[in-house]
Amino acid sequence: MATFIQMPTVAYNRMYQRPQQIMRKLSEMGYTVYYIDNVNGEYFIKINRNLYEVGANYKIEIKKLSRPIILWCSSPAQIVRINNIDHDYIVYDVVDDSSHEFKIWNQYVEDMLSAADIVFVTSDRLYEKFFLRHNRVYIVKNGVDAGKFSLNKNIIPKDIPKNRKVVGYVGAIAPWIDWDLVKYISNSSYDFVFVGSRCGKVDINLNSNVYFLGEKRYTELPCYINNFNCCIIPFKVNEMTNCCNPIKLYEYMSLGKPVVSTAIEEVVKMKSNCYISKDKQDFMENITKSIHEDKKSLSILRRKFALDNSWDKRMSIIIEKLKLNGIL
User: What pLDDT sits at residue 150?
Assistant: 73
CATH of domain 146-308: 3.40.50.2000
> Side-chain half-sphere of 132: how many Cα atoms within 13 Å?
3
CA nearest to 216, candidates 283, 277, 153, 171: 171
CA nearest to 272, candidates 247, 240, 306, 239: 306
Mean pLDDT of 114-126: 97
**99, pLDDT greater than 90:** no
Condensed to tens digits (0 to 9), the pLDDT of residues 183-199 reads 999 999 999 999 999 88
Distance of CA 168 to the CA centre of its chain: 17
Domain spans of the chain, in order of start: 3-143+310-324, 146-308
pLDDT band at 270 (very low <50, low <70, confident <90, very high): confident
pTM for the whole structure: 0.94
Q: How far apart are CA 288 and CA 273, in angstroms?
A: 15
CATH of domain 3-143+310-324: 3.40.50.2000
Which residues fall within 8 angstroms of residue 142, CB to CB, at 6 or more apart?
18, 122, 245, 246, 247, 250, 309, 314
**296, pLDDT greater than 90:** no
pLDDT, the chain, mean? 94
Mean pLDDT of 306-327: 97
User: What pLDDT sits at residue 271?
Assistant: 77
User: What pLDDT sits at residue 148?
Assistant: 79
Q: Give the DSSP letter of residue 230.
A: E
